[in-house]
Amino acid sequence: MHVIINGIPLLAPKSGVGNYVYQTSKALLDININLDLSFYYGIEWSDHLKEQPIEPYVSARKFIQQYRLIYPVYRRTLDLLFYWGQFRKKYNLYHETNYVPMRFDGPTVVTIFDLSFYFYPETHPKERIRYMERYFYPRLDRANHFITISEATKRDLVKQLNLPEEKITVTPLGVDDSFKPFSPNTENLILSKYGLKHGSYVLSVGTLEPRKNIVTLLNAYAELPSVLRNRFPLVLAGGVGWLMEDLEKKIQGLGIKSTTYITGYIPKSDLPSLYGGATVFVYPSIYEGFGLPVLEAMACGTPVITSNTSSLPEVLGSAGILIDPHNVSQLTREMENLLTNPVQRDLLTQAGIKRAKIFTWEKCASKTLDVYNHVVKN
């Protein structure tokens, strides 16, 4: 079977979608699937998986984001390049990895990670909502089959978009082998770059945007006793996203500036140590298609507090603490309890490590291959 996959997310700094494309493609190659990755300039061989972004593409993307009026031209150009590129070889199937399929003369599989733009449009830039309205909904009928990364998103697609349940397959994500417990001394070698020490901070990881519910986390953290805040500063790891420009003002207003750190984007090589060195990992996101940071934190042996909404209970199971993401006082209580209870932290550490072993990229790729075979045969 010869498959063409949309590899464009690999050209930018990796976020959730880019990580999915990289890890799934790599695992498919490991089981000897013949696949190519399509980029914005045509087709590139599959053994050129992009570990680092391509700077000209990143610069062009920033320009396009700044001048939104030319985005339709950019999208049409992508479609034309892809349509031209597919004829260079004979492909059995096209896998669109990022919601909106391009034109393909054959079976098409589309991955839909979540419907946050549908449920919470106010947490997205207006341009992104317009993009989905213009391209996502009208092109749903191009797909022969859909992939989601959680049962929660599958239910959303059936209920909200009226997609047939039999046309949707769930392929839960995996966790990279680099996410595992290390010794405190090993972690401190990395943590020293950020002025941190093992076992001395509360961590949250993810793009700082409204859907991640950072404001609730800040409010809950501010309610902790000052002795705990001084002992366990709050570390927010991730780039500042849309509508979070006033984050510093919020932190200042809560009186927690001296114990709150925003690291910016963290390289993948540093993330395992950042997770593993945290006393508690808190992820109070309102809505997630999967919630990979929760899985990564568990794999690194860090106790997790996360939301009881969307897909997050599927990932966490009983290996951590679930909270109402809108209940500030509950989040404060659970953080205080874990920060002052080493016995419970140890129990959750062991449960999380065990739970994380269930999720592998090999399983994700195997289920993806099952979808390919099903679609091609039908």
Tell me: the pLDDT tens digits for 291-326? 999 999 999 999 999 999 999 999 999 999 999 999
* Contact (CB, 8 A) for 14 and 268: yes
Domain range for 284: 184-356
Query: What is the domain count for the chain?
Result: 2
Instruction: Name the burial class of residue 378, with classes exposed (0-12), middle (13-18) and buried (19+) by CB atoms within 10 angstroms of its CB.
Output: exposed
Query: At 172, phi and psi to the nearest 5?
Result: -55, 145
3-class state of residue 90 by DSSP: coil
Phi/psi-derived region of residue 368, left when phi > 0, alpha when psi is between -120 and 50, beta in every other case: alpha
Specify the amino acid at residue 311: S
**What is the predicted pLDDT for the residue at 41?**
57
Is residue 220 in some structural domain? yes
Tell me: the pLDDT tens digits for 157-181? 999 999 999 999 999 999 999 999 9
Tell me: the pLDDT tens digits for 3-34? 999 888 888 777 788 889 999 999 998 888 88
Residues 307 and 234 in one domain: yes
Is residue 100 in some structural domain? yes
Pairing between β-strand 42-45 and β-strand 34-39 as defined by DSSP bridges: antiparallel
Residues 331 and 368 in one domain: no
Find, among 22, 2, 1, the residue nearest to 11 by Cα.
22
Is residue 263 in some structural domain? yes
Q: What is the mean pLDDT of the segment spanning 101-105?
A: 93
Residues 157 and 243 in one domain: no
Residues 270 and 214 in one domain: yes
3-class state of residue 3 by DSSP: strand
**What is the predicted pLDDT for the residue at 60?**
64
Is residue 179 in some structural domain? no
Residues 244 and 306 in one domain: yes
Q: What is the pTM of this model?
A: 0.90
Residues 203 and 166 in one domain: no
